[in-house]
Amino acid sequence: MDSQRVWTADEAHGYVLGTIVDIGADQLTVQTETKVTKVSYDGVYPVGEDLNKDVDDNCALMFLNEATLLNNIKIRYEKDKIYTYVANILIAINPYFEIKNLYTTDTLKKYQGKSLGVLPPHVFAIGDKAFRDMRALKQSQSIVVSGESGAGKTESTKYILRYLCESVVGGYISHYLLEKSRICGQSLGERNYHIFYQLCAGLPLQLCQKLKLGNPEFFQYLNKGCTQYFASSASDKSIDSERKSEQHKKKGFLSDPIVDDFKNFQSTDNALNHFNVNEADKLLIYKVVAAVLHLGNVCFEESPDDTRGGCRVKSGNSELSLQTAADLLGLDAEELRQSLLSRLMQSKGGYKGTVYLVPLKVYEAQNARDALAKALYSRLFDHIVTKIINKSIPLNGNKYYVGVLDIAGFEYFQSNSFEQFCINYCNEKLQQFFNERILKEEQAIYEKEGLGLKHISFIDNQDCIDLLESKGSGIFDLLDEESKLPKPSAPHFTETVHKVHHGHYRLAFPRKSKLKDHRELRDDEGFLIRHFAGAVCYQTSLFIEKNNDALHGSLESLMSDAKNPLVKDLFYVENQQSLQNGSKASSGKLNFISVGGKFRNQLNELINKLKSNGTHFVRCIKPNLNMVPHKFEGSQIMSQLRCSGMTTVLQLMQQGYPSRALFVDLYNMYKQYLSSKLASLEPRIFCRILFKALGLNENDFRFGSTKVFFRPGKFAEFDQLMKSDPQHLATLISKVEKWLIITRWKRAQWCSLCVIKLKNKLLYRRSKIVTIQKNIRMLLAVKKYRMRYLGLIKLQKLKSLSQEIVDLIPKLKSNEEKLKYSQKMKLIESNIAKLVTDLRNVNQKLTPSEVDTRIKDCDEAINSQIQNLKGKIKEEEALRKMQEAMEIERKQREEEEKKRREEEELKKRKLELEERFKQEQQFHSTKQEELAAVLTLQQQMEKEEQKIRERLQQEKLDYELAVRLASESGSGVNEDYCTSPTPFVVNAPKKEQKKFDLSKWKYSDLRDIINTSCDIELLEACKEEFHRRLKVYHAWKLKNAKSKENISEQRAPDSIMQNASHFTNGTSAKNSENEQRYFRIPFVRASSTTGEKGWWWAHFDGEWIARQMEIHPGKAPILLVAGKDDMQMCELSLDETRLTTKRGAEILEEEFEREWKKNGGELYVTGNRKK
């Protein structure tokens, strides 16, 4: 077997070189430098001839796949060639060091006016192409720069803008989705926004002291992540030691060729000067940034003096930070304190209601503080972009422009939240646009070259986009709906997403993730979405919080009255707009402003702009995670290439003709192998002859007007044929010469064939003339007999009307009338038949007027018959309806009589209920003394039982201590001790031996038996055990409730539950087996603020409750059914509820069923009865 070198996938390097050592049915055995492995055919790619040769455009590679793409990028990266094309897309690898002469003015000038591909790949070439396309095509252009954090997006954007500034006449900046959550916290190893560290490192000493800034570790918003500065050796010495964190002192400064916190502050300060920001306004900006940091140091604790559960600011540093933040923002410290610790509420009633303060809990105050910090920073960011930068840049009314979009690429981390969700949604939309636009550009080349190819298909991600944004059911809309609820919940939102999109291919539970950590998430803690670049698991705990961009009205009002003019300006406009819209700042309720909704609208506007513009793409790649120079991590780069859609582009190229060459270039490439006779041919003719002589499959290549296009890999096969041994080449040349002779001879044959075809065409035309004559004769005949066949058509319609009369005649009741109309009908039919005969007889001379008159007579006769017949039938119908009305009146009288008898029966049954109540009340009164004695005995036994429990608990503690000592000394321990108290029997008589031992049965097993069993004895035993366990469970919940005065779970009125605690089984006779009884008593929930009375309805099937219903004024009814809602229903037996002793509580079955059905209750089945 001829060994062949291939690329095979590798976890560390992306792809490594290997050699095929064995071929299997569905696998290859590949030998790499380190191991022998078996891989599927899909994971192996062929290797080109020269591994060290690089190309500017990956489409020029002989083998076009992701392995060769990665290898070409690697070779160029090692040569400091950081730019590579894939067709018209630029791949940019961040070098993390300055490459000499790469961005000089001379380099910039070289690319001006040069077509793409003339010079080596460069970001300047993309800028130049966009600018020239705008001028030549009279169309606005967009350059999309994307990539991960640290991939160099911003720097690439800067260089593009620098290139375009040579001809710029105006500009404008827009921004999307500021990551506000980063302000309040970062992941381990990450930093907050650069400006915070720039202020801490670069502010002059006097100003730093004025703003009370310094060490980043002092600030809560910075010390959760990395607190090291970006610096160089020189700038690090310029930073005071007091401003450096312990982490910075221990590990040193962070290095980056672009970022330097100390120097960048000077650049930022100078940039503000450039935009005509004076010293006073700059100070206001720095004050707001500093105030954000000081706000983060304001901590809260529970206030023991507040009876309403409020909190207070911690003493010490928190008080100082509060005062500092208030001073910097131009606020009164007490007012800021009050706004952070409470919010205004407005009650209903009166003209404007009553305004009062509601104290906030610790976590609520923390949320208010963080919301204020985010609002300050984001609005300051907006202010700088819109009020400073955009107003300083001239923007005239030019019709066309070049837009540069710097946007984050596809993101996936160990923990993915709302920011990654929005960014990846944006990338889904951009990927869809990217696919459509790249295909369009590629196919434009095919059209220009005249290839005549069909539309190239691609994998559509519309289903994923629909999952995210579809109206009403998309995840964004579901999140907004959840956020609008009175008590929004992340688990409920997640459950709703899984429920609405159950079975959707793109959505899965976290346990389906490939990462082990994600599988530990519960189903209601996140969801997994299969994006175009791969599956991402999102944790939804902060989705609702991050999706709300609103701020408490009291805080917003306070900010709009600040003495700091910048702060006042940041909040004044929006506050005025909210007041104009009728919102009340004092309402206390946090208004909902959807971040996702705003981002989605902005994104749709952006996509629409991109669709109307010419588009160019720059894909920025981070070569390694450490962000250091000269380190190429293949697996990381391969992942980014896939996420940026570059591997998808390769797949699209696989379906097209990505390899291409000019006829002249191809001719020059192989000229040395040709004879002098063939070398004199025109390049295009030479290529055609050559391909024919080689016998290449015509599906593997296409000839354009200036180029020849090859299928992926087919250019390599062509090259291998051309560079064969000399003997084969001589044979090939002789084939070319032979093909030329054959072609010329075939051309002469074709000319002769054309003459023969012309002769046959003339004979064909002569035969068709006869056909034309035949058709003309036919038209003359049609004209002559037109009157007759039109008359026959009208008569045919009259026959259908006569059939209607025939159908109506049987509806008459009188036989005489039937006979009369039948005779008239026969006369009319005979007239019609005679006219038909005359029309069909061509010898019978008829004029058009005569025919029309006879047809009209027949028509009038038929219509007259129909009208007379319908009138007669109508009279008979009126008589029938009168008889039916009399019958209905008789039935109504019978119904009234029946209703009267039912009312008498109902009254009788109510009297029976009253009599039964008296009997049961008398029975219970005779048992009161026995109950008192039993209760006394029960209390004594409980005291004894409690003593035993205390003793056993002590023994358990002793045992645990002995076990610890035994483990230290290596000795044994005696395990023979009692682990549970001796059970007590409440009633003095000995318990009856039970037939079924259900103590070890599961709760669900009992419920299943109750729902399915036909064994009456087992069914009753299971019901008793089931409700016994429910009582124990609810008693445990009551005992361990946080606040027994505020229990939201109230399953029955207090009058029932309190009676049950003093009730002992056996005080009354058991309810008859399967007897259905119904009750209704007043019910006021403890949580009710109005105290309005509702009603509690219960249906007992035997001893246990089967259905339960709560009806409260102004609230939705609560309907519960046993077997489904047991945990929310009353667990007591009928005897324990003492409902039978309450006068008027028991009602009739009809009353309960009527209310149950009225409130939407479903059909209830018990035994052989159906309701």
Q: For 403-453, how does the pLDDT look when each residue is reduced to its tens digit (9 = 90+)?
A: 999 887 788 777 888 988 998 999 899 988 988 887 777 778 888 888 877
Q: What is the pLDDT of residue 1003?
A: 64
Q: Helix, strand, coil % (nearest 5) of the chain?
A: 55, 10, 35
Closest CA relative to residue 636, chosen from 254, 120, 1097, 77: 77
- Locate all alpha helices (DSSP H) within 460-552, ordered by sequence: 462-469, 475-483, 490-500, 516-519, 543-547
CA–chain centroid gap for 74, Å, is 36
Please tell me the distance from the alpha carbon of residue 33 to that of residue 648, in angstroms, as a whole number: 30
Number of domains in the chain: 7
Domain boundary among 706, 733, 756: 756
Q: What is the pLDDT of residue 81?
A: 95
Number of H helices, E strands in the chain: 40, 27
Please tell me the distance from the alpha carbon of residue 542 to that of residue 523, in angstroms, as a whole number: 15
Q: What is the pLDDT of residue 726?
A: 63
**CATH value at residue 470:** 1.20.58.530
Buried-state track 226-244, b at ≥16 Cβ within 10 A, e below 16? bbbbbbeeebbeebeeebb
Inside any domain, residue 215: yes
Please tell me the distance from the alpha carbon of residue 746 to that of residue 204, in angstroms, as a whole number: 90
Closest CA relative to residue 838, chosen from 826, 827, 846, 848: 846
Give the residue-averaged pLDDT of 871-875: 78
Most confident listed range (458-472, 773-787, 911-925): 458-472
Inside any domain, residue 908: no
Instruction: Determine the angle formed by the axes of helices 634-643 and 66-78, rounding to 10 degrees.
Output: 120
Query: Which segment of 318-322, 686-690, 923-927, 1136-1140 scores lowest on mean pLDDT?
Result: 923-927
Query: Which segment of 352-361, 729-738, 1130-1139 scores lowest on mean pLDDT?
Result: 729-738
- Residues 769-813 have pLDDT tens digits of 888 988 888 888 888 788 888 888 888 888 777 777 777 777 777
Banded model confidence at residue 105, pLDDT cuts 50, 70, 90: very high
- Residues paired with 597 in a beta bridge: none
Q: What is the pLDDT of residue 1025?
A: 79
Closest CA relative to residue 111, chosen from 124, 96, 121: 124
Inside any domain, residue 336: yes
| 445 CB burial (10 A radius; 0-12, 13-18, 19+) | middle
The one-letter amino acid code at 144 reads V
In this structure, the answer to whether residues 489 and 535 fall within a common structural domain is: yes
In this structure, the answer to whether residues 979 and 1061 fall within a common structural domain is: no
The one-letter amino acid code at 412 reads Y
Query: Which segment of 424-433, 575-584, 668-677, 993-1002 scores lowest on mean pLDDT?
Result: 575-584
Q: What is the pLDDT of residue 1068?
A: 47
Please tell me the distance from the alpha carbon of residue 477 to that of residue 53, in angstroms, as a whole number: 52
> 543 or 914: whose pLDDT is higher?
543
Q: How many CA atoms lie within 13 A of 817 on its CB side?
A: 16
What residues have CB less than 8 Å from 816, skipping those under 6 apart?
A: none
Indicate the pTM of the whole model: 0.57
Query: Which segment of 482-491, 819-828, 1129-1138 scores lowest on mean pLDDT?
Result: 819-828
In this structure, the answer to whether residues 1073 and 1087 fall within a common structural domain is: yes
- Residue 307 backbone phi and psi in degrees, to 5: -75, -10
Sheet of 1146-1147: strand order equals 1118-1121, 1104-1111, 1094-1101, 1076-1083, 1146-1147
**CATH value at residue 694:** 1.20.5.4820
- Residue 56 backbone phi and psi in degrees, to 5: -70, -35
Please tell me the distance from the alpha carbon of residue 260 to that of residue 238, in angstroms, as a whole number: 12
Q: What is the pLDDT of residue 965?
A: 39
Whether the predicted pLDDT of 1044 surpasses 50 = no
Whether the predicted pLDDT of 264 surpasses 50 = yes
Q: What is the pLDDT of residue 322?
A: 95
**CATH value at residue 19:** 2.30.30.360
Instruction: Tell me which residue has tokens 């490459």.
Output: 99
In this structure, the answer to whether residues 1033 and 1062 fall within a common structural domain is: no
In this structure, the answer to whether residues 1055 and 1029 fall within a common structural domain is: no
Q: Give the domain extent around 23.
A: 1-47
In this structure, the answer to whether residues 962 and 1016 fall within a common structural domain is: no
Domain boundary among 728, 756, 784: 756
Query: What DSSP assignment string belongs to 1103-1160?
Result: TEEEEEEEE-TTS--EEEETTTSGGGS----HHHHTGGGSTTTEE-HHHHHHHHHHTT
Q: How far is CA 601 from CA 348, 426, 594, in A?
A: 35, 11, 11
- Locate all alpha helices (DSSP H) within 1040-1065, ordered by sequence: 1054-1061
Inside any domain, residue 945: yes
Inside any domain, residue 509: yes
Asked if 532 and 645 count as a contact pair (C-beta separation under 8 A), the reply is yes
Query: Which segment of 145-154, 586-595, 962-971, 999-1008 scores lowest on mean pLDDT?
Result: 962-971
In this structure, the answer to whether residues 219 and 333 fall within a common structural domain is: yes
Banded model confidence at residue 988, pLDDT cuts 50, 70, 90: very low
Which DSSP letter does residue 548 get? Answer: B
Buried-state track 143-152, b at ≥16 Cβ within 10 A, e below 16? bbbbbbebbb
Q: What is the pLDDT of residue 451?
A: 82
Domain boundary among 756, 789, 824: 756
Q: What is the pLDDT of residue 3?
A: 62
Query: Which segment of 96-105, 635-644, 1060-1069 scores lowest on mean pLDDT?
Result: 1060-1069
Please tell me the distance from the alpha carbon of residue 90 to that of residue 83, in angstroms, as a whole number: 7
3-state SS, residue 1048? coil
3-state SS, residue 845? coil
Whether the predicted pLDDT of 903 surpasses 60 = yes
In this structure, the answer to whether residues 1006 and 1139 fall within a common structural domain is: no
In this structure, the answer to whether residues 1072 and 1026 fall within a common structural domain is: no
- Locate all alpha helices (DSSP H) within 79-216, ordered by sequence: 105-110, 123-137, 153-164, 181-184, 194-202, 205-211
Tokens of 527: 């969801």
Please tell me the distance from the alpha carbon of residue 274 to that of residue 282, in angstroms, as a whole number: 12
- Residues 950-969 have pLDDT tens digits of 556 545 534 443 443 344 44
3-state SS, residue 925? helix
- Residues paired with 473 in a beta bridge: none
Banded model confidence at residue 592, pLDDT cuts 50, 70, 90: low
Inside any domain, residue 141: no
In this structure, the answer to whether residues 373 and 449 fall within a common structural domain is: no
Please tell me the distance from the alpha carbon of residue 1052 to that of residue 1108, in angstroms, as a whole number: 9
Asked if 244 and 215 count as a contact pair (C-beta separation under 8 A), the reply is yes
Tokens of 1170: 């159906």
Taking phi over 0 as left and psi of -120 to 50 as alpha, with beta for the rest, 443 belongs to alpha
Q: Which residues fall in the annotated binding site for ATP?
A: 147-154
Inside any domain, residue 789: no
Q: Which residues fall in the annotated binding site?
A: 147-154
Q: What is the mean pLDDT of the chain?
A: 81
In this structure, the answer to whether residues 543 and 573 fall within a common structural domain is: no
- Residues 126-136 have pLDDT tens digits of 999 999 889 88
Q: How far is CA 410 from CA 92, 466, 539, 549, 669, in A?
A: 16, 18, 17, 24, 42
- Residues 369-411 have pLDDT tens digits of 998 999 999 999 999 999 998 888 877 667 788 999 988 778 8
Give the residue-averaged pLDDT of 1056-1083: 67
Give the residue-averaged pLDDT of 1077-1099: 83
In this structure, the answer to whether residues 672 and 749 fall within a common structural domain is: yes
Q: How many CB atoms lie within 10 A of CB 1004?
A: 8
Q: How many CB atoms lie within 10 A of CB 686?
A: 20
Please tell me the distance from the alpha carbon of residue 719 to that of residue 661, in angstroms, as a whole number: 12
Whether the predicted pLDDT of 898 surpasses 80 = yes
Inside any domain, residue 836: no
Angle at 896 between CA 894 and CA 899, to 5 degrees: 110
Most confident listed range (251-265, 486-500, 805-819): 486-500
